[in-house]
Structures are given as structure tokens and as C-alpha cells.
């Protein structure tokens, strides 16, 4: 393990589920690379792997929904992180509603926002989707799900 690998392994960012809808397609994945990237105006970026089924849907979407999960929602994280939309309709297993711009909002999420895609940024094997928040909601408090909480989930797609 290199010093950089050791440094990265110490990080445990908050996890989120990102959902996308375009035409008749919908998809979602568990994401560990995300952050607020501007204060004025507020902007948020989520990074989605090019190998992920969600990437192809997100590329065509006008809006993405970003969902926070609590530590008690490991099962929901496992569905969106351990299954792939290439083989599984994840939305058949959870309650969801349509949000702004045709987005897909998970009803069980602790908190969520829908943002319009303002920019796509190259980032190696991941593409950053810079979002302008348009609508949001909160349903539950509690400690957020972090990377250390989901290390036992095998990814639905290799990175």
C-alpha cells in the first residue's frame, strides 16, 4: 500500500444514493464521491463511474436526485450499491415518487434534493455532475451513512 492509498483509506465520506431518469429509463447508484462545490450560488457535485448503469441514464437526464441515508438504512444502500440496473429494477423494491424535472425521489431517504444538471466535468473514470438544487426535503434525523458503514457491500459494477 502506498502512502496515498493509506491516506485515502482513512477517509470515510458520507454516502448518498443518486437517481436519474431520462425518457422511460430510470437508474440509481450508491455514491461516495460528492460535495458542495459552491456557496453562492449553491452548487453540489456528484461523481458517477462511467462503468455504472446510472451513468448512461444520468448523461441524458436534466435533473438528478441526491438522497442521504442514515446508518440504519444499510439495506437500502446495499440495494443501490450492490445491484446493477443492468440486471435489477431497483425501483421495484422501494417506494418512490416523481420529483421536479421527472426526477425519481426515494421516499425512504432521510433527506434529499433534486438539482438540475448545470455542467458535466471530466474526472478520469468518473464524471462529475454539477447540480443546482431546485427542490429538497427532509424526513429523518440521525447519523448519516458513511463509507466505513458500507465497506461490506460488493459493488454491482467494478470501478
Q: Quick one: pLDDT at residue 11?
A: 82
Judge whether 19 lies within some domain: yes
- The number of beta carbons lying within 10 Å of the beta carbon of residue 23 is 9
Sign of the alpha-carbon dihedral angle for 79, 81, 87, 89: positive
Q: For residue 131, what are the contacts with CB-CB under 8 A and spacing of at least 6?
A: 43, 44, 45, 46, 63, 64, 66, 113, 115, 116, 117, 118
More confident site: 11 or 131:
131
Which CATH number does the domain housing residue 115 bear? 2.30.110.10
Question: What pLDDT, on the 0 to 100 scale, is given for residue 36?
Answer: 96
Q: Band of the pLDDT at 155, cuts 50, 70, 90? A: confident
What range defines the domain where residue 115 resides? 3-149
- Which of 17, 110, 106 lies closest to 58, judged by CA? 17
Q: What is the DSSP string of 25-76?
A: EEEEEEES-EEEEETTTTEEEEEEETTSHHHHHHHH-SEEEEEE-BGGGHHH
Tens of pLDDT, residues 52-109: 999 999 999 999 999 999 999 999 999 999 998 888 899 999 999 999 999 999 999 9
Query: What local confidence, expressed as pLDDT, does residue 84 receive?
Result: 87
pLDDT of residue 14: 92
Residue 159 binned pLDDT confidence (cut-offs 50, 70, 90): low
Residue 117 β-bridge partners = 131
Tell whether 112 is covered by a domain. Answer: yes
Whether 155 is in a domain gets the answer no
**Domain for residue 157, yes or no?**
no
Q: Number of structural domains, the chain? A: 1
* Structural domain contains residue 154: no
- Could you give the strand order of the β-sheet that contains 16-22, starting from the edge strand earlier in sequence? 25-31, 16-22, 63-68, 111-123, 126-138, 43-49, 34-38
Amino acid at each position: 500500500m502506498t502512502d496515498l492509498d493509506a491516506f485515502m483509506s482513512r477517509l470515510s465520506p458520507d454516502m448518498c444514493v443518486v437517481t436519474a431518469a431520462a425518457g422511460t429509463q430510470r437508474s440509481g447508484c450508491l455514491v461516495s464521491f460528492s460535495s458542495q462545490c459552491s456557496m453562492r450560488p449553491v452548487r453540489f457535485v456528484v461523481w458517477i463511474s462511467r462503468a455504472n448503469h446510472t451513468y448512461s441514464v444520468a448523461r441524458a437526464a436534466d435533473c438528478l436526485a441526491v438522497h442521504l441515508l442514515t446508518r440504519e438504512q444499510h439495506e437500502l444502500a446495499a440495494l443501490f450499491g450492490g445491484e446493477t440496473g443492468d440486471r435489477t429494477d431497483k425501483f421495484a423494491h422501494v417506494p418512490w415518487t416523481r420529483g421536479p424535472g421527472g426526477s425519481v425521489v426515494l421516499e425512504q431517504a432521510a433527506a434529499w434534493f433534486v438539482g438540475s444538471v448545470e455542467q458535466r466535468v471530466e474526472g478520469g473514470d468518473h464524471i462529475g455532475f454539477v447540480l443546482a438544487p431546485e427542490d429538497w426535503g427532509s424526513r429523518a434525523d440521525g447519523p448519516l451513512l458513511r463509507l466505513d458503514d458500507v465497506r461490506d457491500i460488493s459493488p454491482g459494477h467494478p470501478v
